[in-house]
Structure 1
Amino acid sequence: GFPLVRDLISVPDSYKPLINMLLGNAALVEDLDQAISAWKENGRDQCLVTPEGDMVDNRGVISGGKLASSSRGLLARKREIKELEKKVKECEGKAEALKTKLNTVSLELERKTASLDDLIEEKSDYQEKINDLDRVIFRLGQEMDQLEKLSNRISDELEKESKEQNRHEKALNKIESELKLSEDKRKKEEKYLHQKEVELKESEEEFEQIRNELEKLKLDQRLSQEEERGLLREIERIGDFVHESHEKLEKIGEDISEGKQKVQELLKSEEAQRGGLEGLYEKLQKAEGAVNGAEQDRNESQAKIREEEKRGDGIRAELEILREKINTAKLEQSEIRFKMNNLVELVREKFNLNLVEIYKEYVQQDFSELKTRDELERKKKWKERMGEVNLTAIQEHEALKERHDFMTGQREDLLNSIESLDKAIRKINRTSLEKFRETFDDVDRKLKSVFPILFGGGTAGLRLLDPEKPLESGVLVEVRPPGKKLSHMGLLSGGEKALVAMALLFSLYLIRPSPFCLLDEVDAPLDEANIDRFNELLREIRKYSQIILVTHNRRSMEIVDRLYGVTMERAGISKMVSVDLQELREN
């Protein structure tokens, strides 16, 4: 006459055969007493379950219910104690980091830290004892259940089981008294630990103040560096563009000038070579005149020498000097004659000209050997640079002219393209600036409304580092949590940074919300107080979007409409379980 459990569970049609196989003919009763009575009357073919989780199978064995809840409570306390131990160790590490600034209290802190370690060890020992006592209590509870069932089935052992039960109850009372004493001692230890945490917190606040000042200075430096880098990048970009344009224009001008210069040089090369030959012939004429004059001087000198030899040995020295001059003149004459012969042969080989016949046409009256040599060397170098006579200069000129016309057209096209690009860039910048300002203002307004939800108050806003250049400026997030002064994200704690980041992301999202919002363990770094405020924000977002939330937090699970879970009853086989919480709330 009891309702079946499988009829009370709503699952998709594809899972109904599995639910029927797992639950079978299990029925739901009001409490454990009714289940035991029903089993005594006619329950050996049916499993009975109570709303509290107690189950009586067809053999009469009772399981689940309050014992399982108690076990889960102890495990939760054990997890909380481990978390407290972890926090104590973190506080000790921070205290070590502040030793350099807390020299006056370092010895006292070390002593208290050592005392705290002893207390932690004692607390661990007591926790192990508590766990042992919990296991004993659980085991005794199971034995009591077995004794109660045996007392209903075997009347002749009722007195024995009653005595055993009394003995166990005394043991439980004794254990409970021990637990109470342990609990009192644990509270005293927690009070002492709390006192030490307050001392550490004061030290942390002093350290945090110094660190905030340092972070503020670092932020100012980074802002200045960022502005400087932005200006340098803009100058470099403009300089590269101007330099590239100048190079292209200069290259085009050089090609045009080079073509014109080659044409002019080719036209003047023949006249320049003829002028050089005139200078050479003048040199030859003057050299022969010098040789003839030297020969005449030599003859006169020899005559004078013969007349002066009779005058004495005093003049012989002068005669030797004159002889040396004569020999030098002869050598110079021979050298000049040799050079003249070579020059005649060289002109004949290179230019196919007879220098002896034509040199008189190019003789100069004001001939200067030094100037002629310099001019000759200069023209030789100029001739070497000029190279051979280019017989295709006219064709090259035409090709260069055609290339010049082509480059001129390309230059005009390039200038037109640059002008078009400048117009497009100005239009894009104008549109981008309008869109950016509009979006920036919307995000700022949303942030001012979302931030108080996550922080339980306070204010937040966005500010441009360079309002004159919004498209190139950075964005600074300024926040003021409740009870604190205005600061930026770099001066906040890890949890506060996570909340500010969430506020900014959800502000961006709420400007144009999508039909679906997928969140993957976003609430993982939040504590319980922040979880509640995060859930309030999710309730606001669900007005616009359908939220799919991946979470391990029970508080977040409480606000959902439908819950999906994956379990593995057997190794390697996953199973999907779903619960419609909205339907359960309505029922």
Structure 2
Amino acid sequence: MIIKKLELQGFKSFPERTKIIFHPGITSIIGPNGTGKSNIVDALLWVLGGKRLKSLRAERSGDIIFNGNVKKPPMSMADVTLSLIDEEETLNINHRVFRSGESEYRLSGKKVRLKDIQESLWKKAIAEKEYYVIEQGSIELFLSSKPIEKRLLLEEAAGTAYYKDKKRQTQNKLENSELNLTRLEDIIIEVSKAKNSLKRQAHAAEKYRVLREKIRQFTFLNFRKKIEGIEKIQKETVFVYKKALDQENEIILRLKEEEKNLASKRKETWALEKSIKEAQENLFSLKSQLNRSEAEREKEIKKIDLLEERKKKARENKAELEHELISIEKERSEVENVLKSLSETLKQKQQSLKAADQESQACQKKLAELQKNIETLRNEYLQKLSDHTEIKNEQVKLEKEMELTLRQDEKLKSQLAEEQSLLKQKEKELAQSKEETSRVKKLLEGKKKRLEENQKSLDKIDTYIDRLQNQIAELKRGKDKHTHHLHALEKLKQKEKGTDFPPDLADTLGILADSIESDADHTPLIDIFWKEEAKAVLVHAQDFLHDFANKGLTGNFLLLHPQIKKQSFSEVYHDPRVVGLLKSHIRPSQRIKKHLSQLNEAAIVKDIKNAVELWIRFPAVNYITLHGDLLLSSGLLKLGQKKEGIFSLSQEIKALKQNISLIDKKLSLLTLRMKERTEQKQKLEEKAQVEVELSAQLERKIEGLEKENYFNTLEIEKISTNISVIQKELEIFTDDKKAITKKIETLSSKIRRTEQKEDSMKDIFTKAENEAASFQEENEQRRKHFFELKSSVDLLKEKIKNLNHQLHTLTQRKEIIETKLTSLHKEIRDSEDGKLHFKENVQHFSKKIKNLEEEEKDKETQLIQGEFKLKEAKKEEEELEKRIEKLRENYEVRKEERVKWEIKKAEGERDLMNLEESCWQDLKKTLKEVKDEIPLDILAETDVEDSLAEAQEKLQKFAAVNLMAEEEYSIQKKRFDFLIQQKEDLRESIDSTREAIKKIDQESKSQFSKALNEVNKNFQQVFSLLFEGGNAELKLTDPNQPSESGVEITAQPPGKRLQSLSLLSGGEKSLTSLAFFFALFRYKPAPFCILDEVDAALDETNLSRFLNLMKKIKNQTQFILITHNFKTMEVADYIYGTTMAEPNITSIYSVKLETKRSQ
């Protein structure tokens, strides 16, 4: 399965979706440093499950997402898709991560776990990244790596890494199962306690239930008895109630008949009352009509009197108005005469007023001309005065300006001298500051060089410390794993010893399992054959008799006989079916070596068939197969024995303790190195910190000096500018002084001329004012005469106006009186006509009143007769009401008696209902069901109430009873049985898991041994091919433990003695490492291999050998090379180039080999 396609988007320097197509053979990726070549390798590692960010050259998960540049913003997601293809199928692996930290994997479009992808890759023979990714740094470090790290690569080639992972998972499962078993046993104990407690509670609940049932039977009988009593009383009550009800109904019938008669009589009385009422209403209506007619007649009489009065009053008013009309005529004549006289006087006054007005206007006009002339003279005078003042002000202003100019001139001259002095001082300071800046910069450059050297040393130490930290962390993880495993094994060992294991005693030699050793293949056989002996405490027989015989000890002891027992198995041993004797595969300690003969011996055979055949020939011998089947000399055949016991556990515990001790030694050595390097780093950091602080001080000083130089330069420029400005201002002030002096002289001559003109204008103005004043007085006299005439004219006009108004008023009054006289004449005529009409009405009403009085007498006679009949009817009605009242009293008595028995009947029904409710609550039965179930003859024979009270008293003596105990006990018992079954299943699971681990170990060991031999042969061949001679070998660091031993490389290039690998040159190390990797590929070709600048340390000759070797196997393995070497590029079938047209964005270009050559 090879890489077909790689798609990147948002990963490091690939913001846009980039698709890279790979082909079989050799693909080369070239480009300048920093253009993103290694980012392609990082993407491949990352999508295949690379979890360590440091291996991807990143600190945080966000570092692998495109971080943007000046033009492109950062992206929120990195997405890489890898397509792997073979003849059968295509695998599409997708890995996506977001800035929020969320990450997801997809396999062929389905969301999966990383573990699922790794398992799919295992099935396709794609191992961990160390197997198919070879980097320049890893090539150099490979030979110096630990033997156990080299072993990992061999395990990848052998395919045992997959089994180791499965073993680790199985061990975790075994550990969990053992913990679950322990927890399950604890749960079983707790459940057993709860079960026993519930059993007791269930027994008490059963007694309680029997007594409750007894109480229920007595309650049943008690209810039946109560039913019978209540029903008997109820029967009597119902009989009396019905009798009372019949008597009540009889009285009700009589009462209804009397009430019917009373209603008829009341109806008759009501009809009489109604007719009487109608007669009264008719009589009242006639009286009302009579009264209204009399009132109307009186009203008409009063109207006649009123008309007579109105006629009399109208005649009196008419006389008064005629007298008033005569007086108005007289007054009107007098007013007309006065008005005529005043009109003539007004004409004369108006003529005099007109003449006076003409004279006044002529005087006013002349006075206005004089005032206008005076105003003109005044304005001219004021203008002359203003001009004179203005000239004087200007003169004063010029004098002040001259004074200010002289002061400014002196000030500028002193300022010029100060600026020239300051300029010399600043130029001197600037020169000194530049010299100091140059000196400090030289010091700073020296500090920076020392800092760079110090930083390089720190980087080297950091790299070394990181490597040490990784090694320490790896060792600690290994130690923790071993320690955890050790605790689990010790726990299992303690469990294997059993609870009756004897305590630690003096003079004993420990258990047999701790005193012997064996190889891993035969350890299970010892556990099977010496199962009980392995757990027994070793003690000399004499010591046991002397010290322990009378102590009452328990447990197993293996007594060591003082004499050596000899056994002979020479005949069996020489049989070809016998693999060997069991004792020959153990290594006893010195203290029990001589006593080993007293243990039973067993012959090891291949299978049970051989064992039975040999036993038939040699029945005195015990036989054990390699699979753990046992045939004792007694003929007892034990098949499928448990292969792991206390001896296996002891052996494994010893090995783990040795490993932990070895790890502790390595840890102490690495910790010491770490401490030394950390102290060295701390000193360098302190030194660097001092240098940094000094550099910072120098940089601040340089910055301050440069600022000072800059400001001094600006200050000098400013001062020079100020000097030139001051010199120009002095020249301007000199010119200004001359101009001001000339202006002052001109203004002085002007002032003299203005004063002369001012004096002549003042004389003319005074003369004109005197003339205007005399004419003004004359004009005032004429105006006074004019206003007197005007006021007399106005007074006459007012009088005439008032007289005209008075005349108009009199005319109106005359017209009004004449109108009133006409109205009074009409009123007198209307009164005469109305008086005749009202007299006729009086006669009509008198006739109508007479008729109504006769009709009233007839109505009164009829009313008296009706009232008599009504009185008789009411008397009969009262007699009926008395009879009804007596019947009602009798009815109430009967009703009370009936209600009394009805209440008793309802009480009986209520008692029955209450009894029904109580019966249902206590027995969940109705009264009918109780009556049907129990006959009456039983009640007479049983004292129900006493028996019920006695049973209830017994029930009260019970404490709290758990009525659910029986059900809970049943549930708990089922759970207990289920847990026991689970325990058995768990034990079977643990046994099968241990068997699986053993099979995995055997398979791993076999495959690893095979891979080691084959890779060793390939390594020797490839090494000789690359070095054109020489020897190289792979060997185990501990051949006695091939399953745990590391792998060491020995290499002897041609012409050199066998020496330490650390003494090889860089090129030789790289070539040796490549020889090892290609040896792996020959044994198990990787589908693809990524080589990141591995040719950098090779010279041209070694590079040619390496490239020739790669070309030979390119049909088996797809190679992707990152290189800067032109010779390496020549062997490539495809070339990809990387550039960065924009910062932090990689662009990809591809070229086929043929195209490249034609170009």
TM-score by length of 1: 0.33
Higher gyration radius (CA): 2
Q: TM-score, normalised by structure 2?
A: 0.18
